[in-house]
Structure 1
Amino acid sequence: MGMRTRTKVIIGIAAGVVVIGGVGVVVGPRLYADAVNGSAAAAPSLSPAAAGKLDAASADGTWKSGSGSYAGYRVHEVLQGQDVTVVGRTKQVEGTATVADGKLSDATVTVQVGKISTPEAARDAYFRDKALQTDKFPTATFRVTKPVDVSGALGGSTQSVTLSGDLTMHGVTKSVSADAQVAVGKDGDVQVAGKVPVTFQDYGVTAPSLGFVTVDPKGSVEFSLDLAK
């Protein structure tokens, strides 16, 4: 994407151009904000299905993510005085986790950043090509570095945990903490849903501030994993 095209993309977002059925419809900032906020996905949470249980023999081993898993980001923007919550999602995510003696001893989540999308393709192009430079840094990875007790979840409860680990994004690795929930699904799968707060500048990512639209310097990386052996 050239500089002129990129500038048009950003201005188009700021002006509130919404494409409906292939036809560009220009709306005001308030209507645009309402449309984006209304389409923003809720934060990841565990399935409302009744929780199951796993004994130690069934729980121990390596678990891998299935097709129901996803990851992405959540950021806040101010567009000409209007608050906008933007949520990007992709199912192009791979997760593995090792459970031993009631503890999550190791886990890694890898996200194809270039596949993250929102309802606004122009915004996606800017974040993909300019902000996150996915041609150079196609993936983001969160790796758990400290074992955490998940015996409560294995015993049939929804358990809140703090996952300590390293987040690598835009070629930069930082130690972070993720607030997550863990539970066993009714089919014996393990569900993990959580978020990692991020400050973009820590990863060499500059959030755009163009006068008419400002993106908060902080956001979060979100993930929801359905793990099976």
Structure 2
Amino acid sequence: MKKRTLIALVIAGTVVVAVGAAAFAGPYIYRDYLVAPAAAEPTLPASASASAAAGPLSSEDVQGDWTVGDGSYAGYRVNEVLNDVDTTVTGRTDKVTGSLTVADATLTAARIEVDVASIATDSGSRDSYFRGTAMRAAKFPTATFALTAPVKSSRMPVTGQPQKVSATGDLTLAGVTRSVNVELDAVFDGERGQVVGRIPITFADFGVDAPDLGFVKVEDAGFVEFSLTLEKN
């Protein structure tokens, strides 16, 4: 075999191996190096229980109108799939507004609005698809949650002690409304309330096509996540 032919075969073999390695390693490189780490799931701050001396609250302490304040955020969590390798992606915005009403230790009304067009990830192309093709934010600029049934805790809140409650409401995404149930973690630190939760959703239920970026697809289900700081009016 001529030396030139041998060299050509070696080069060709090297290219084949390199392409195969890239095909295998590409999804992991995308997940581990090209996509920003997913944000942590919303949880109550570890300092919540230590921020104030624990003590029982009266209905007067919590009743009245509350507003979503600074420090709140909302967004989504989905898995992108490239060659069967999952990559978790989170989008976030702090443009969240809303109000809640408490009467006789019962949450009687709540409405939360999120500015969809401001939800951002680490990728401009992903965000453009999400805001435009998927969510049609120009036509439907906000996503909303409206409470549809009163929420009464099994016990009065205690300052600094987290509590779990369940809520039912209407979630509206891209102009489509669906009834959802959400498990909430809440705590009152003596001055402000903190509520966190996540709502599992299937995109098709809201008339949304799961984003498809060509080389990577998004699974057809994910989560709406939020962390709300509540201030009494």
2:85 counterpart (82, 85, 109) = 82
The reply to whether residue 181 of structure 1 matches residue 185 of structure 2 is yes
Q: Cα 1:116–1:50, aligned 2, differ >3 Å: closer, same or farther? A: closer
Determine whether 1:202 maps to 2:200.
Answer: no
Contact map agreement 1:160 1:182 (CA 8 A) in 2 = yes
Whole-angstrom CA distance in 1 between matches of 2:155 and 2:94: 28
Contact 1:36 1:85 in 2 (8 A): no
Match for 1:43 among 28, 41, 44? 41
Matching residue's letter, 1:165? G
Q: TM-score, normalised by structure 1?
A: 0.82
Q: How does 1:91-170 map to 2 (within 5 A)?
A: 91-150=94-153, 152=155, 154-156=157-159, 157-170=161-174
Residues of 1 paired with 2:147 and 2:34: CA distance? 33
Instruction: Give 1:223's aligned amino acid.
Output: F
Between the aligned partners of 1:47 and 1:198, the Cα distance in structure 2 is: 25
User: In the alignment, is the contact (CA less than 8 A) between 2:203 and 2:221 conserved in 1?
Assistant: yes
Amino acid in the other structure paired with 2:105:
G
Distance 1:180 1:36, change over 3 A: farther
Give the Å deviation of 1:214. Answer: 2.1
Q: RMSD of the alignment, in Å? A: 1.9
Tell me what 1:7 maps to. Answer: none
List structure 1 runs of 4+ shifted beyond 6 angstroms: none
1: CA distance, partners of 2:92 / 2:155: 29
Q: Cα offset for 1:107?
A: 0.9
Q: CA deviation at 1:47?
A: 1.4
Rounded to whole Å, the distance in 1 between the matches of 2:221 and 2:31 is 19
Taking the aligned partners of 2:35 and 2:153, their CA distance within structure 1 comes to: 34
Instruction: Measure, in 2, the Cα distance between the counterparts of 1:211 and 1:140.
Output: 26
Conserved in 2, the CA contact under 8 Å of 1:129 and 1:135? yes
**Are residues 108 and 153 of structure 1, via their aligned partners in 2, closer, same or farther at CA, if it must alter by over 3 Å?**
farther
Unaligned runs of 5+ in 2: 1-24
Deviation at 1:29, TM superposition (A): 2.7
CA distance in 2, matches of 1:153, 1:43: 27
Aligned length: 202
For residue 33 of structure 1, what is the aligned residue in structure 2?
Answer: 31
Structure 1 residues without counterparts, runs of 5 or longer: 1-26
Q: What's the offset of the Cα at 1:75?
A: 0.6
- Partners of 1:103 and 1:151 within 8 A in 2: no
Aligned to 1:172: 176
Q: TM-score, normalised by structure 2?
A: 0.81
Name the CA shift for 1:211/1:114 in 2 (closer, same or farther; >3 Å).
closer
Richer in strand (by share): 1
Q: Deviations over 1:89-134 (max 9, x none)?
A: 0000012111111111111110000000011111001111111110
Q: Distance in 2 between matches of 1:228 and 1:64?
A: 5
Identity among equivalent pairs (%):
47
Residues 180 and 194 in structure 1, CA contact (< 8 A), matched pair in contact too: yes
Q: Distance between the aligned counterparts of 1:191 and 1:122, measured in 2? A: 33
Alpha-carbon distance in structure 2 between the residues aligned to 1:153 and 1:41: 32
* Matches of 2:206 and 2:98, distance apart in 1: 22
| Counterpart contact for 1:153–1:182, Cα < 8 Å | no
Structure 1 residues 211 and 50: alpha-carbon distance in aligned structure 2, compared to 1, 3 A threshold = closer
CA change 1:209–1:130 in 2 (3 A) is closer
What is aligned with 2:7? none
Q: Distance in 1 between matches of 2:145 and 2:226?
A: 10
